[in-house]
Chain A
Amino acid sequence: MEKKLLKKDRLSGIVKKMADDKPVYAPVKDEDNVLFKILEPGMEPLISFANTKDAPKKVFFPHSELLMKYTRSPKGMVFAAMPAGEKEFVLFGVRPCDARSFVLLDMLFDQEKWKDPYYIDKRKKGTVISMACVHPPYAACFCTSVDGSPTSTQGSDIQLTDLGETYLVEFLTPKGEALAPYFAEATAADASAEAKKQAIAEQSAAEIQRKIPGRAIKPILDVSFEHPFWDTIAGKCIACGTCTYLCPTCHCFDISDEMKGDDGVRIRNWDSCMFPLFTLETSGHNPRTSQKQRWRQRLMHKFKYYVDNFDAISCVGCGRCVMACPVNIDIRKIVDDISKLQV
């Protein structure tokens, strides 16, 4: 695929130009958070930032999403309408770890047998422009331990890499190439640019010193469901959903109905395996009654069940849960500890 060089000061203008034509989600400063928002006229996309507080999964898998609308007739429920299909849009400024999360989510939402039309529609319409991490943005980053890298192109349609004076613009997919006209002023990249990127990739990956045995714990997890170790991890967990809501790969949801007068809607909302109610059955029976079980589920789901089902770790090493956990439950430490278990 094509590679180009773009003068750095031109990027912001290009993104804003795109935003004139179609919705563009970009990292923007919102008080003291950096969040993905649709760029409105006058808003400035953040070009230089560490990473967003919220994961960009919300663009494809919104926190609350309308599934359908219905009305009440004298006879009962009558289906009324579907949400409008998505228009084409651009998701700009995604970090490579987060872009990889889309590939992981695809495995679940776009399976052979059951397809999730809402997610798939958005994935089809959205073009992902990622920004390679020239330096890992956080000390909590650990993408290299979970099959990723600071310059991974997985899940990206275009990737930008800061080469100092210019950005290397890599058009990775046909969807990405469709945006090439916006980069008309960019010049062809030569072999030296590619070499530079290669050097950056190596350098940046090397800067991530914190390693966890992401793949290596799978055989241990296979046989340690009942291990007493699990009793030690979740005591201080307050059972909030911060980790799961900020996680780029957590995808559990709930479906709820709301009505007003004769109008009704069915909405799906993020849910969290950290919440006691997540598995509570009407009968009062709850297969997971303790926070220990819920934590085990979260960890197993990411490092064992997903590997069993899709041969992929459902964690991209973005470090959000590490940094945002209100009580500092550090998944890196837990994975470390698991790797040392005697089983």
Chain B
Amino acid sequence: MSHHDKPAGRKSEGWEPKIVAIVCNWCTYAGADLAGISRIQYPPNVRIIRVPCTGRINPFYVVKVLQAGADGVLVSGCHPGECHYISGNLSARRKFATLKSFLNYIGIEDGRTTFTWVSASEGERFAQVVKAVTERVKALGPATKLVKKLRDADVAVAK
């Protein structure tokens, strides 16, 4: 086992959750920017992936992120009615309503996936969301479900 995958026991000491946020360019990303410019404090656990619109997000991204070992996923875009592309977020809403329900149904904890809307002017809300999501994920502990582990080989070879 290499130094990269230290066994993370449940809520082991020093464990900090990794959360992937997939956000739209026009609202939430701008909102995150505003939070930064306004120097609003929020936990550093979130890695942001910017996409043009939540309608662009293939639900597979969310599942893939969970498989890769993220402890939580946050998806956020423009409030309904404010989509830069008119209705991308409304399409996304239908996808994510069913995706989240289906993930919950197979037993993925509710707090692992979060969907919300944050507008460009809501720097404060963005920080609130990240804080709340981080706390929810922390309470759940490290993700284990759907997470892929590499097969292990146990005989080392002299180089």
State the Cβ distance, B78 to closest chain A Cβ, in Å. 34
Kindly identify which residue among A71, A84, A259 contacts B154, using a CB–CB cutoff of 8 Å: A84
- Is B159 touching A66 in the complex (CB atoms < 8 A)? no
Question: How long is the Cα–Cα vector from A142 to B108 in the complex, in angstroms?
Answer: 47
Q: Which of A73-81, A177-185, A187-195, A237-245 contacts B (4 or more CB under 8 A)?
A: A73-81
Residue contact A260 to B148, C-beta cutoff 8 Å: yes
- Distance A260 CA – B149 CA, assembled complex (angstroms): 8
For window 82-122 of A, CB contacts with B under 8 Å fall at 82-85
Select one of B4, B69, B149, B152 contacting A262, CB under 8 A: B4
Is B5 within 8 A of A81, CB to CB?
no
Whether the Cβ atoms of A82 and B157 lie closer than 8 Å is yes
Q: Are A80 and B157 in contact (CB under 8 A)?
A: yes
Q: Is the CB of B155 within 8 A of A81?
A: yes
B39 contacts chain A at the CB level, 8 A cutoff: no
A263 close to B (CB within 8 Å): yes
- A78 to chain B: which residues have CB within 8 Å? 159
| A258 contacts across to B, CB distance below 8 A | 150-151
Indicate the member of B4, B148, B149, B150 with the most A CB atoms within 10 Å.
Answer: B150
B108-159 interface (Cβ within 8 A of A): 148-157, 159
B5 near A265 (CB under 8 angstroms)? Answer: no
Decide: B151 and A82 in contact? CB cutoff 8 A.
Answer: no
- CB-CB < 8 A to B148: which residues of A? 260
Residue of A nearest to B149 (CB): A260
Interface: B2 (CB within 8 A): yes
The reply to whether B4 and A263 contact each other, CB–CB distance below 8 Å, is yes
CB distance B4 to A265 under 8 Å?
A: no
Q: A263: which B residues are within 8 A, CB to CB?
A: 2, 4-5, 150
Interface residue tally for chain A (C-beta within 8 Å): 22
- Assess the B155–A84 pair: CB atoms within 8 A: yes
Does A299 count as interface, using CB distance less than 8 angstroms? Answer: no
A80-B157 Cα distance, complex, nearest whole Å? 6
* CB nearest neighbor in B for A261: B4
Nearest residue (CB) in B for A82 is B155
Shortest distance in angstroms between A262's beta carbon and chain B's nearest beta carbon?
6
Q: Is the CB of A262 within 8 A of B2?
A: yes
Report whether B153 and A80 are in contact in the complex, using a CB–CB cutoff of 8 Å. Answer: yes
Contact A66 B151 (CB under 8 A): yes
Min CB distance B152 to A, Å, is: 8
Please pick, from A64, A69, A261, A262, the residue contacting B153 in the complex, using a CB distance under 8 A.
A69
A34 at the interface (CB under 8 A from B): no
The interface residues of chain B lying within 8 Å CB-to-CB of A265 are 150-151, 153
A79–B153 Cα distance when bound, in Å, is: 12
Are A83 and B154 in contact (CB-based, < 8 A)?
yes
Closest 9 CB pairs of A and B: A69-B153, A261-B4, A81-B153, A66-B151, A84-B154, A83-B153, A81-B156, A84-B155, A260-B150
* Given A80-B157, A82-B155, A263-B2, 15 additional A-B pairs, CB 8 A: A64-B151, A69-B153, A71-B2, A79-B157, A80-B156, A81-B154, A81-B155, A81-B157, A83-B154, A83-B155, A259-B150, A260-B69, A262-B2, A262-B4, A265-B150
